[in-house]
Structure 1
Amino acid sequence: MQIRSQKAWERILDAGTWILEHEGREALTVSEVCERAGVAPTAIYRRVDGLAGLFWAIYDRGMAKVAETYRAGLDEAAALPAGTRERVDRVVRAMGDTWENNVDFLHPIVSTTSDLALLERGARESLEFVDIVADLLPHSDPTVNRDVARMLHQECVFRSLYGSSPSAEGSWGPLP
């Protein structure tokens, strides 16, 4: 029974993630997730308290994947000699690659501006990575390193919101 329940929960999280990534947070409903996952609503309500709980379960799983990717890249950077161009390059690539490889998940997360709990948690989690990045940068002034790390992070957020280049008309368009 537990294996079947765990598989149903994974289907629920997969369905919820797909909806979030392809249709947006507004389309994420318990009934839509149940339909896509092929489960009854009780399969969700046994684990979480409704839609809010389901969203946070999807968020936690998605952000764990993002954090794992981020940490792997930053660990590679930390293994390189401090102060070298190679280390800085690897830090920047770790940030960029993490955001680019997870943009389908991150876009609806960072574009949600009406959920204060999400904004606060996202800001806190983002600043943890900003601090890790700052510690890997070569400037002797930690304030400069933190400013650079925040700027790099903000660029990644901007690109996840608007894409990586302006359209032919010169405006930043939605992601493909």
Structure 2
Amino acid sequence: MATTFSHTRTAQRRQATIEELLDHAQAILDEEGAGAVTVSEVARRAGMRPPSVYKYFASLHAIHDALFTRGQVLLVEAIEYAVRDREPGLDSLLAGHRAFLRWATTQVGLASLMFWRPVPGFVPGPEGMATARVLLTRGREELAVAVERGELAPAADSDEAARLLTVLVSGVFSQQASNQPRADFDTGLFTSLTDEVLEMFARHYAPTGT
């Protein structure tokens, strides 16, 4: 019993240290970008020597991967919260993408790592990609429901429509993050156009006669 308790406490302390190191890495990411995230700088901010960081992360890319996964989990939570009271279909679909952009505006560092490729050679691991696919699947299902409900034309129930919506929304994020990374979602030069962009998509796939 004592051994089990000791192992639990050790695991908890280890996880707490991992989260602290990730907090420091995320702060660097927010302040200076992905290129500034190094094992040495993370260690310095955590008050430890660089070799000690490798007890928790096998490599610098492992830190990037953990940040990628953290971002995907936070984004899923933000979208799920935003659509919790929405009608399935078009309403939920657009609310989810609006929530995506609002979240990305407040988490430019994480979002840039997730949706750009700022780190040469970095490839996200299975856990982070599995979480990312949750959102892709959700969006695809919402398109199908919107078509079933007569809110969108049949052509919207397609991978092409899903890709088009991704292009539109990611374009808004990219322009905003590139030109006004510290701007507020509601007043940003590009994020303030979110509703118009989403309306363009809805009009493009509007049912015939509407």
- Compute the TM-score of the two structures, normalised by the length of structure 2: 0.62
Aligned pair in 2 of structure 1 residues 12, 119: CA closer, same or farther (>3 Å)?
A: closer
Aligned pair in 2 of structure 1 residues 47, 74: CA closer, same or farther (>3 Å)?
A: same
Q: Which residue of 2 aligns with 1:135?
A: 141
Q: Which residue of 1 aligns with 2:188?
A: none
Q: Which residue of 2 aligns with 1:161?
A: 174
1:95-174 alignment runs, 5 A limit: 95-112=100-117, 114-115=120-121, 117-118=123-124, 126=132, 128-137=134-143, 138-140=146-148, 143-146=155-158, 147-163=160-176, 173-174=179-180
Q: Deviations over 1:138-172 (max 9, x none)?
A: 124665134443333223322332218xxxxxxx7
- Equivalent residue pairs, number: 165
- Compute the TM-score of the two structures, normalised by the length of structure 1: 0.71
Correspondence 1:73 to 2:82: yes
Correspondence 1:50 to 2:59: yes
- Distance in 1, matches of 2:64 and 2:71, equals 10
Q: Which residue of 1 aligns with 2:42?
A: 33
Aligned pair in 2 of structure 1 residues 88, 17: CA closer, same or farther (>3 Å)?
A: closer
Q: For residue 162 of structure 1, give the secondary structure of its aligned residue in structure 2.
A: helix
Q: Which residue of 2 aligns with 1:62?
A: 71
Contact kept in structure 2, 1:12 and 1:33, CA below 8 Å: yes
Overall identity of the aligned pairs, in %: 21
Moved more, 109-118 or 38-47: 109-118
Kindly state the Cα deviation for residue 32 of structure 1 after the two structures are TM-superposed.
Answer: 0.3
- Distance in 1, matches of 2:47 and 2:37, equals 15
Contact kept in structure 1, 2:69 and 2:127, CA below 8 Å: no
Q: Deviations over 1:75-131 (max 9, x none)?
A: 443xx2x45x64454344333334334333102432325436249998876554233
Aligned pair in 2 of structure 1 residues 57, 119: CA closer, same or farther (>3 Å)?
A: closer
Q: For residue 71 of structure 1, give the secondary structure of its aligned residue in structure 2.
A: helix
Moved more, 121-130 or 28-37: 121-130
Contact kept in structure 2, 1:73 and 1:90, CA below 8 Å: yes
Q: Specify the structure having the higher radius of gyration (Cα).
A: 2
Q: For residue 157 of structure 2, give the secondary structure of its aligned residue in structure 1.
A: helix
Gaps of 5+ in 2: 1-8, 183-210
Aligned Cα root-mean-square deviation (Å): 3.3
Moved more, 138-147 or 48-57: 138-147
Moved more, 44-53 or 97-106: 97-106
For 2:138, the aligned partner's letter is I
- Distance in 2, matches of 1:56 and 1:89, equals 29
Q: Deviations over 1:29-85 (max 9, x none)?
A: 1000001121233432112212122221222222221222223334443xx2x45x6
- Distance in 2, matches of 1:157 and 1:47, equals 33
**Whose RCO is larger (CA < 8 A, sep 6+)?**
2
- Distance in 1, matches of 2:155 and 2:121, equals 30
Contact kept in structure 2, 1:9 and 1:43, CA below 8 Å: no
Q: For residue 166 of structure 2, give the secondary structure of its aligned residue in structure 1.
A: helix
